[in-house]
């Protein structure tokens, strides 16, 4: 059995390029700094891509889906069958992320990482199923070491193929009833952070439901004291969360901006950053979720998201909404006149 996973190295970013991009932006036909954080975003995109003329054309959101055995303990307000039902909505183009992606000119690809159902073939679906849901992490490890490593590898390969297919930016989303429970445990161990500070209502728990969720997560956490990132993923993650972590690294390996959605995607990226710290320089956090643990996670990573709209849906919705900002920031460098042109 695989006892660990060796994270790949990632490309270096050139500080001299960052200075050149700053100089170019300061020389545009506008007051220096007048576009605020969009100027910083333009520089970040250029550094990620390793080019003085950043560009964001085609973009794809990868929505990884999986079921969680721990949902049998009542950690979600909804049954696991909702995961499969929502995949049907994605494939029909009727989910919220579908609408937002159409408005933002973003392609949607859905990955069956481990849903407890089967689906008809579709151009929008990637079948990467590792099982019909993970094991119950409140009672035993969610995955074997081999399964966790395979999930990381598959996510890595899917993101790389998406880049090869033409995506200039790769957004990460999720679907999996019960996966805020896994995200809370990952934040607790890999932040690290007190467990109670990591637990929120997820898809909409009542006070009683939230108390039950907390009790289950404390039981799960008591099984192991691990703080090692691969082992934490194996113990507490989902197939979709581990594939998300691999996808973040796969996108970064080919110099694609990793546009991170909300709490679950961020928890997966946290695990990936703990596996390969250089990944942090390739991530753009799309928004600050209303889910309690997300604000804490962003603070621990020192990340300032682009948007703060009170979203807590998942699906990649916030990441998709951020893509037009990336396109605008890149065009600031390439399309806006220099001040010298205006002054003659």
pLDDT at 201: 74
Mean pLDDT on 235-255:
98
CATH numeric code, 59-325: 3.40.50.10210
- Quick one: average pLDDT of 14-24? 98
> Tell me, what's the pLDDT at 78?
86
Closest CA to 45 of 57, 60, 61, 62: 57
pLDDT tens digit string along 34-62?
Answer: 999 999 999 999 999 999 999 999 999 99
pLDDT at 1 over 70: no
* Collapsed DSSP state (helix, strand, coil) of residue 114: strand
pLDDT in tens, 176-234: 999 999 999 999 999 999 999 999 876 666 788 889 999 999 999 999 999 999 999 99
Domain ranges of the chain: 15-54+331-343, 59-325
**CA distances (Å), origin 78, targets 60, 83, 88, 325:** 28, 9, 17, 33
Q: What is the pLDDT of residue 205?
A: 65
pLDDT recorded at residue 206 = 77
Confidence of residue 3 (pLDDT cuts 50, 70, 90): low
Of 289, 270, 64, nearest to 179 by C-alpha is 64
Provide CB contacts within 8 A for 329, sequence distance 6+: 38, 39, 41, 42, 45, 54, 56
Name the pLDDT band for 299 (thresholds 50, 70, 90): very high
Is the pLDDT at 16 greater than 50? The verdict is yes
Q: How far apart are CA 35 and CA 336, in angstroms?
A: 12
Identical fold, 15-54+331-343 and 59-325? no
User: Given this model, what pLDDT does residue 2 score?
Assistant: 41
315 is known as an active-site residue: yes
Look at residue 254 and give its three-state secondary structure.
Answer: coil
pTM of the model: 0.96
Catalytic pick among 73, 240, 291, 315: 315
pLDDT digits (tens, 9 = 90+) for 260-286: 999 999 999 999 999 999 999 999 999
SS3 298: helix
User: Is pLDDT of 307 > 90?
Assistant: yes
Q: Whole-number mean pLDDT of the chain? A: 95
What is the CATH number that goes with domain 15-54+331-343?
1.10.1610.10
Chain segment 123-172, per-residue pLDDT in tens: 999 999 999 999 999 999 999 999 999 999 999 999 999 999 999 999 99
Q: Are 113 and 240 in contact (CB under 8 A)?
A: yes
């Amino acid at each position: 059995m695989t006892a660990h996973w060796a994270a790949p190295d990632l490309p270096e970013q050139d500080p001299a390029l960052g200075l050149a991009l700053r100089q170019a932006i300061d020389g545009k036909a506008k007051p220096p700094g007048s576009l605020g954080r969009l100027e910083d975003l333009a520089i970040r995109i250029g550094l990620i891509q390793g080019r003085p003329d950043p560009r964001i054309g085609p973009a794809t959101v990868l929505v990884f889906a999986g079921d969680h055995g721990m949902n049998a303990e009542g950690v979600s307000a909804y049954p696991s069958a909702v995961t499969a039902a929502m995949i049907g909505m994605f494939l029909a183009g009727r989910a919220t992320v579908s609408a937002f992606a159409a408005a933002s000119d973003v392609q949607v690809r859905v990955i069956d990482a481990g849903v407890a159902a089967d689906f008809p073939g579709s151009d929008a679906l990637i079948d990467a199923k590792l099982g019909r849901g993970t094991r119950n992490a409140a009672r035993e490890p969610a995955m074997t070491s081999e399964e966790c490593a395979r999930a990381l590898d598959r996510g890595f390969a899917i993101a790389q193929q998406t880049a090869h297919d033409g995506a200039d930016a790769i957004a990460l989303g999720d679907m999996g009833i019960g996966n805020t429970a896994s995200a809370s445990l990952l934040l607790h161990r890999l932040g690290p952070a007190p467990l109670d500070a990591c637990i929120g209502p997820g898809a909409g728990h009542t006070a009683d439901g939230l108390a039950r969720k907390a009790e289950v997560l404390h039981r799960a956490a008591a099984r192991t004291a691990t703080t090692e990132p691969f082992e934490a993923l194996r113990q507490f993650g989902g197939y979709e969360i581990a594939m998300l972590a691999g996808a973040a690294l796969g996108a970064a390996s080919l110099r694609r901006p990793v546009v991170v959605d909300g709490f679950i995607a961020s928890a997966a990226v946290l695990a990936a950053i703990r596996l390969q710290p250089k990944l942090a320089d390739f991530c753009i956090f799309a928004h600050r979720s209303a889910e309690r643990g997300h604000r804490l996670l962003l603070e621990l990573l020192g990340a300032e998201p682009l948007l703060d709209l009170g979203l807590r849906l998942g699906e990649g919705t916030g990441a998709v909404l951020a893509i037009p900002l990336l396109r605008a920031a890149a065009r600031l460098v390439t399309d806006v006149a220099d001040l010298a042109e205006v002054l003659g």
